[in-house]
Amino acid sequence: MNGLHEGEILLDASAMEPPEPLQRATVILQQLEPGQYLRMLHRRLPYPLFDACKSLAIDHRHFPGRHSHWVILFWRHEDSATAQYCRKLEP
Amino acid sequence: MRTDRLLLQHMPALSIPYRFFLSAPLFGILGALLLLHGGEASWTNRWTAETLAATHLLTLGFMATVMVGALFQVLPVLSGHSVPGQRWLAPGLHILLAASTLALATSFLLHSDPWRLAALLLLAVTFALFLGALGLRLVKPGGGDSVFGIRLAALSLFIAVALGMLMLWVYMGGHTPQWLQQSGGAHLRFALLGWVLLLVMAVSYQVIPMFHVTPEFPKPLARAIPACVFIALVLLTAGSKDRASGLAVALLVSSGIAYAAITLSLFRRRKRKLVDYTIRFWQLGLACLIVALLGYGAAYARPEWSGPASQLQWGVLLVVGFAISIIIGMLQKIAPFLAWLHLQQACLTQPSAMLTLPTMHDLLPRRRARVQFWLHGTSLALLTMAPAYPPLGLPAALALAVDFAWLELSLLKVLRAYRGSLDGINRL
């Protein structure tokens, strides 16, 4: 389940200084369409973004990455098909 | 370390650290104006009334004020708990610290025992409250390398303040043992190389990798270096001028230089090498630390090289060159970052407002940080030369006043931009 998904938006924030990862991810998450999800690569877990997700009705999960410390996936709460896909993605 | 998780859970209100940040440059301006008033005489030796008063306006009024304010912000993040009673403690400590600094500076200027007594009492209450609250957090087991460093810094602060108060007591004619009457050097070492250097080390382990995307400070050295600095300071104070104290000076100088050299190498290895004036301030501050420590080692080995002018230059390099450079540099980053983080939190109830959030550079334009760097560099260069050529004292003091005034205006700009954005969010 690690193949490229056409609805994937990639944000490599591993070399970005704060709060740029949070700023960029917030803009992407607000415009996320059904069928799309955000794959974020980050050196830390972005807890402030997780707080923002609650008010944006966005779900997320994370796992350690191969090329970055963390991989974090975000999708719309009501988008059950994308949710199912993201939950099956392997670390 | 659970920094990110704890950042928001325990983040104090913006007003708690910001009240300290906003008032600190005013003490810097006051210190600079005193040097201006003192004229060339202020640059003849470090014991003149104006020099002593100005030094304490810079160290207590500017440096300690920012550091205490920053600890209210940083400590909950590092230790996982808020400072107890921070809602009343922060405004109370802020007023007490300001009052003690002003009373101490006045006591130096007026040579007045009632003012010395007032300063003594105010300092005792201020630092008993601050170190008590800090101690309640720091005595709890655990914490990472930063908390280890902050523990040693707090211990150094306690020793520096106690020795400083004893010196005030001696000025008032109070009786103290002979060995304590010569404690000026130890007071200065524990204040600048203990409290300030150890706190800078401890905080840098967190803020440099986080803000500048550098590798982490090497784990085995993150505790060893502060421990060596603290041990050296204790040995220097306890021992007489013999081989042991020579080794202590060597340990102190080599540990401090190792810290500065490693930190400078971390900046060279950062992933994105964008122009960043906070980093320039760090590089300037660490370079001054290296030069000051080499000068300290040389003065110990060759006491005949150490005259009143070189002692003043050593103080300028450590206070204005090392500590104030790094503090001003960090404020260029921390002030807009904290404002932005509070705005982001305010948007949680208004998600649509997130798209209207200002950027860090909207809150504090890069141009302002660049001007700040050159103003500070100019005042540092003039201040370093003034002890050797006292007529430079006048432009040096003026440049220092402008340096702090610019900082104050930048901090006010961040606050105005924050309030404007917050009003916008609340109107949505």
Residues 6+ apart with CB under 8 A from B1: B78, B144, B146, B206
Question: Does residue A87 form part of some domain?
Answer: yes
**Count of other CB atoms within 10 angstroms of residue B332:** 26
Cβ pair A70, A63 in contact under 8 A: yes
Q: Tokens for B286, please give them.
A: 């660490």
- Residue B271's SS3 state is coil
Q: What is the rounded radius of gyration, in angstroms, for the C-alpha atoms of chain B?
A: 21
Bond before B76 cis per omega within 30 degrees: no
> Which residue from B211, B349, B357 is facing A18, i.e. has the nearest CB?
B211
Q: Tokens for A14, please give them.
A: 């591993």
Question: Does residue A62 form part of some domain?
Answer: yes
Over range B383-403, report the average pLDDT.
Answer: 96
- Residue A63's SS3 state is strand
pLDDT of amino acid B116: 96
The residue with greater pLDDT, B240 or B46, is B46
Q: State how far the Cα of B303 lies from the Cα of A62, in Å rounded to an integer.
A: 60
Over range B170-189, report the average pLDDT.
Answer: 77
User: Measuring CA to CA, how many Å separate B43 from each of B32, B53, B308?
Assistant: 13, 13, 9
Question: Does residue A66 form part of some domain?
Answer: yes
**Count of other CB atoms within 10 angstroms of residue B81:** 13
**Count of other CB atoms within 10 angstroms of residue A64:** 9
Least confident range of B26-30, B177-181, B204-208, B386-390? B177-181
The residue with greater pLDDT, A15 or B372, is B372
Sign for the pseudo-dihedral over CA of B143, B267, B225, B66: negative
Q: How many structural domains comprise chain A? A: 1
pLDDT digits (tens, 9 = 90+) for B272-311: 788 899 999 999 999 999 999 999 999 999 888 888 889 9
CA proximity to B19, closest of B360, B335, B379, B365: B335
pLDDT of amino acid B404: 98
Q: Taking all residues of chain A, what is their mean pLDDT, rounded to a whole number?
A: 88
CA proximity to B218, closest of B262, B260, B173: B262
How far does CA B66 lie from the centroid of its chain? 7
Q: Tokens for B199, please give them.
A: 């706190």
CA proximity to A17, closest of B328, B366, B373, B198: B366
Q: State how far the Cα of B124 lies from the Cα of B157, in Å rounded to an integer.
A: 12
Question: Does residue A6 form part of some domain?
Answer: no
User: Measuring CA to CA, how many Å separate A14 from each of A21, A67, A72, B268?
Assistant: 8, 9, 12, 17
**pLDDT classification of B239: cutoffs 50, 70, 90:** low
Q: State how far the Cα of B390 lies from the Cα of B312, in Å rounded to an integer.
A: 11
**pLDDT classification of B154: cutoffs 50, 70, 90:** very high
Question: Does residue A4 form part of some domain?
Answer: no
Residues of B whose CB is below 8 A from A12: none
Residues of B whose CB is below 8 A from A46: 4
Q: Tokens for B364, please give them.
A: 């504090």
Q: State how far the Cα of B58 lies from the Cα of B25, in Å rounded to an integer.
A: 9
The residue with greater pLDDT, B61 or B175, is B61
Q: Tokens for B284, please give them.
A: 């300037």
Tell if the CB–CB gap between A51 and B8 is shorter than 8 Å: yes
DSSP assignment of B79-97, as one string?
A: HSSPPTTHHHHHHHHHHHH
ipTM: 0.79
Residues of A whose CB is below 8 A from B211: 17-18
Instruction: Please report where in the chains the tokens 């998780």 appear, as a residue.
Output: B5
Question: Amino acid identity, residue A45?
Answer: L
pLDDT of amino acid B347: 86
pLDDT at B393 over 70: yes
Cβ pair B214, B267 in contact under 8 A: yes
Q: Tokens for B304, please give them.
A: 């005949």
The strand order across the sheet containing A37-42 reads A8-12, A37-42, A70-76, A58-64
Residues 6+ apart with CB under 8 A from B149: B198, B199, B201, B202, B205, B222, B223, B226
Question: Does residue A57 form part of some domain?
Answer: yes
Tell if the CB–CB gap between B348 and A51 is shorter than 8 Å: yes
> Which residue from A18, A30, A48 is facing B355, i.e. has the nearest CB?
A30
Question: Does residue A2 form part of some domain?
Answer: no
CB burial readout B374-391, b (16+ within 10 A) else e: ebbbbbbebbbbbbeebe
Over range B112-127, report the average pLDDT.
Answer: 96
pLDDT digits (tens, 9 = 90+) for B319-363: 999 999 999 999 999 999 999 989 988 888 777 787 788 989 999
- Residue A41's SS3 state is strand
pLDDT of amino acid B139: 81
> Which residue from B211, B351, B360 is facing A55, i.e. has the nearest CB?
B351
Question: Does residue A65 form part of some domain?
Answer: yes
- Does this model's pTM top 0.90? yes
Cβ pair B357, B347 in contact under 8 A: yes
Sign for the pseudo-dihedral over CA of B128, B131, B136, B140: negative
Tell if the CB–CB gap between A52 and B344 is shorter than 8 Å: yes
Low-confidence residues of chain A: pLDDT under 50: 1-2
Q: Taking all residues of chain B, what is their mean pLDDT, rounded to a whole number?
A: 91
Cβ pair A24, A10 in contact under 8 A: no
Cβ pair B209, B215 in contact under 8 A: yes
Q: State how far the Cα of B396 lies from the Cα of B35, in Å rounded to an integer.
A: 9
Tell if the CB–CB gap between A18 and B210 is shorter than 8 Å: yes
Residues of A with CB under 8 A from a CB of B: 14-19, 22-23, 26-27, 30, 43-48, 51-52, 54-56
Length of chain A: 91
Task: Find the domain containing A49 and state its range.
Answer: 44-91
The residue with greater pLDDT, B424 or B47, is B424
Cβ pair B191, B160 in contact under 8 A: yes
pLDDT digits (tens, 9 = 90+) for B187-231: 999 999 999 999 999 999 999 999 999 999 999 999 999 999 999
pLDDT of amino acid B241: 62
